[in-house]
Amino acid sequence: MMAELMNNQKTKGKKERRSIRNKPMPKVDLTAMVDLAFLLITFFMLTTSLNTPNQLDIAMPDKGPITEPILLSEDRVLNLLLGENNELTYYRGTAESPKSSPQKVAYGKLGLGELLAKTAVDVKQTTNGKDIIVLIKPSGGSTARNLVDAVDAVQRAAIGRYMIIKMNDEEKKMM
């Protein structure tokens, strides 16, 4: 039985007048139900999966001294400027002499995803098979979600070289 109702009524040969005071209170033994509750709690705790933390793996440079600056080919570089209000502006080349005029694009497969795929193919054709380099530059008004979306789009496009760097004054004017 799950719960047992124990009523200790004494039956005597003669009829007694019963009052509420004399009537014994029934007691319920809930030991079996408590055991069952703990078994169910244990079962569900062991069979459910906990949320795994989402993390973004980024290789950061060593903290050693910078000996010489690395020169990049302007033809291989795509700059992504992350602005306020979920705005994303891109251009190719350097801020001093951009190869393409700054243009806005939306986050997502149809916007940023297509841009990265198309530009990666274009860079391979124009630079004799060299890979594209993407520079992601968040502004002070961009959100962490924008940065994560941009890095996710770069990783989905299978681009191996990308960096997160600070935006300079000329790029702030482009926004």
- Please name the residue that has the structure tokens 């941009």: 150
Residue found by looking up tokens 């990049």 in the block: 72
Helix (H, G, I), strand (E, B) or coil at 68: coil
- Give the start-end residues of each E strand in the chain: 4-6, 27-29, 77-82, 88-92, 103-105, 133-138, 161-164
Q: Which tokens hold the place of 156?
A: 């989905």
Q: How far apart (Å, rounded) are the C-alpha atoms in residues 160 and 154?
A: 8
Task: Flag whether the pTM goes above 0.75.
Answer: no
- In this prediction, residue 36 carries a pLDDT of 93
The alpha carbon torsion through 10, 16, 21, 26 (nearest 10 deg) reads 30
- Contact between residue 117 and residue 132 where contact means Cβ atoms under 8 Å apart: no
pLDDT in tens, 26-46: 788 888 889 999 999 999 988
> Which residue did the predictor score with more confidence, 97 or 155?
155
Per residue in 41-71, pLDDT (tens digit) is: 999 988 888 777 777 666 666 777 877 777 7
> Which stretches of 23-161 are DSSP H helices?
31-47, 114-126, 144-156
In whole angstroms, what is the distance from residue 166 CA to residue 137 CA? 5
